Amino acid sequence: TAVGFGMDPDLQIDIITELDLVNTTLGVTQVSGLHNASKAFLFQDTEREIHAAPHVSEKLIQLFRNKSEFTFLATLQQKASTSGVILSIRDLEHSYFELESSGLRDEIRYHYRFNGKSRTEVFPYRLADGQWHKIAVQVMTMYSLYRIYERIIDPPEMNLTPESNLWLGQRNRKHGFFKGVIQDVKIIFIPNGYITQCPNLNRTCPTCSDFLSLVQGIMDLQELLAKMTAKLNYAETRLSQLEDCHCEKTCQVNGLIYRDKDSWVEDDHCRNCTCKSGVVECRRMSCPPLDCPPDALPVHVESQCCKICKAKCIYGGKVLAEGQRVLTKGCRECRNGVLVKVTETCPPLNCSEKDHVLPENQCCSVCRGHNFCAEGHKCGENSECKNWNTKATCECKNGYLSVQGDSAYCEDIDECAAKMHYCHANTVCVNLPGSYRCDCVMGYVRVDDFSCT
């Protein structure tokens, strides 16, 4: 304690004792501290008014008058990542001595007055970590000393106004509430007062132990850097040996492994595929144009990728292609140019008769709104199935064009080559699957998706 150093009681003020926190109930609770030699108090996260009575404020004003040096001491445990004022000596408008801890920025702020103006000094240090800290802030007329920080500042005003008051754990009635435990809060007016907080500190060099710790830390980092450098050199040696090694990228499709530049045919999709540097690229087989005779029509046949010519049928002036049906007295299907009678039992419909719809080239009715696409209507990867009232059709996606007039199979439109783009001056058109983009010419900056300047 301070008495152990033979300190004059008239040159110190014990803040916790003077504020009589034992009898304060609102927002403050007595708890266990860092030690049991003095009382500790938990400052809760709630509104409170912990400030000095008029006679204590008068004592404080007298102690500060005409002094050139004082030290603030405290032991505290601040709630992690919170911010608040530890102690504030102020009048209604100005702070003469205020110590604030910011857990958001991990810094301590010292607010004071010089020549009638407010000043703030910021020290990078983390108090709001839920751990116990013993702090000592020594303020002299020429410099402020805070632990390992020594900084020259303008001399703070020491003569307090008569309206000055002392607040503990807050700035005023509404702001700066400290959250955590505070113990052993004192202000002493003797030279090198920080020694009372840290008696084992080297008095001739209070920061020497910290400097030696920093030196040891630098040496540890240098040793770690040397180890990392050795590992990097070894890794570079190994990588240089791999430069002569050719690692071929393969493609895996349906459980089969294809080597780079291998090609194969996908029967299900009628596409030619190639493995290129680990990426599968497929293009639909190119079908030759069909020139069917007058009595035939091009149709898709099971297991065939390209249409073939098959004989057509004519019934009552209506032309039917291979596989299409017509409902007469019975159901008939066009097969090899002949209408063949087909026996088919139509399923019952779950709709009223007025909602029955007869699909094109079929014999059994369906309900209005029937999903023809769900029946397995096949459209290529660049086309989409679309339902109509009596049938389903394939339509090319945006940016694609039907192959030989068949919208079930569509190929990309090269908007750049066809000049179907909106790229303006200072840009270069780049074709993309189903679209395109406008790249800026080197040296120009993009304005929007189509312009550069």
Condensed to tens digits (0 to 9), the pLDDT of residues 105-155 reads: 999 999 999 999 999 999 888 999 999 999 999 888 644 444 445 677 788
pLDDT at 207: 56
Tell me which of 46-50, 141-145, 197-201, 398-402 is least confident.
141-145
Q: What is the mean pLDDT of residues 154-174?
A: 92
Amino acid in the structure at residue 94: H
Distance (Å, whole) CA 56 – CA 203: 32
Write down all domains in the chain, each with its CATH number in brackets.
3-210 (2.60.120.200), 251-284 (2.10.70), 289-370 (no CATH), 374-412 (no CATH), 413-453 (2.10.25.10)
What does the radius of gyration of the chain's CA atoms come to, in whole angstroms? Answer: 44
Would you state the structure tokens that stand for residue 376, as one six-digit string?
Answer: 């397995």
d(CA 35, CA 30) in angstroms, rounded, equals: 13
| CA–CA distance, 166 with 19 (Å, rounded to integer) | 9
% of the chain exceeding 70 in pLDDT: 91
Look at residue 183 and tell me whether its pLDDT is greater than 90.
yes
Structure-model confidence comparison of residues 427 and 284, the more confident one: 427
pLDDT digits (tens, 9 = 90+) for 399-450: 888 877 778 778 889 999 999 999 999 999 999 888 999 999 999 999 999 9
Assess whether pLDDT exceeds 80 at residue 248: no
DSSP, residue by residue, 45-85? SS----B--HHHHHHHHHHHTT-SEEEEEEEEEEPTT-EEE
Q: Is residue 74 predicted with pLDDT exceeding 90? A: yes
Q: In whole angstroms, give the CA distance from residue 172 to residue 311.
A: 99
Please name the helix (run of DSSP H) or strand (run of DSSP E) that holds residue 256, with its range, or none: strand 256-258
Higher pLDDT, 201 or 5: 201
pLDDT band with cut points at 50, 70 and 90 for residue 317:
confident
* φ, ψ (nearest 5 deg) of residue 314: -130, 130
User: How much is the pLDDT for 3?
Assistant: 35
- Per-residue pLDDT, averaged over 272-291, amounts to 83
Q: How far is CA 186 from CA 15, 136, 254, 320, in A?
A: 6, 10, 78, 105
Judge whether residue 268 has pLDDT over 70. Answer: no
What's the confidence (pLDDT) of residue 120? 94
Q: Would you give the DSSP letter of residue 446?
A: B
Round to whole Å and give the CA distance between 199 and 203. Answer: 8
Q: Which two tokens stand for residue 188?
A: 């002493």
How far apart CA 271 and CA 251 sit, in angstroms, is: 16
State pTM to two decimals: 0.46
The pLDDT assigned to 257 comes to 92
Give the residue with greater pLDDT, 211 vs 258. 258
Residue 329 CA to residue 363 CA, distance in Å, equals: 11
pLDDT at 7: 62
Structure tokens at 83: 């911010």
Average pLDDT over residues 188-209: 72
Distance CA 390, CA 149 (A): 86
User: Distance between CA atoms of 63 and 52, rounded to whole angstroms?
Assistant: 14
Q: How confident is the model at residue 269 (pLDDT cuts 50, 70, 90)?
A: low
Cα distances (Å, whole numbers) of residue 326 to 240, 263, 330, 433: 74, 44, 8, 41
> With bands split at pLDDT 50, 70 and 90, how would you rate the model's confidence at 368?
very high
Indicate the Cα dihedral angle 229, 232, 233, 239, nearest 10°: -170
Q: How many helices (H) and strands (E) does the chain have?
A: 3, 33
pLDDT band at 36; cut points 50, 70, 90: very high
| Cβ atoms within 10 Å of 317's Cβ, excluding its own | 5
pLDDT in tens, 328-361: 888 999 999 999 999 878 899 999 999 999 998 8
The residue among 353 and 206 whose pLDDT is bigger is 353
pLDDT of residue 5: 42
Q: Which two tokens stand for residue 22?
A: 């034992």
Please give the pLDDT value at position 70.
Answer: 92
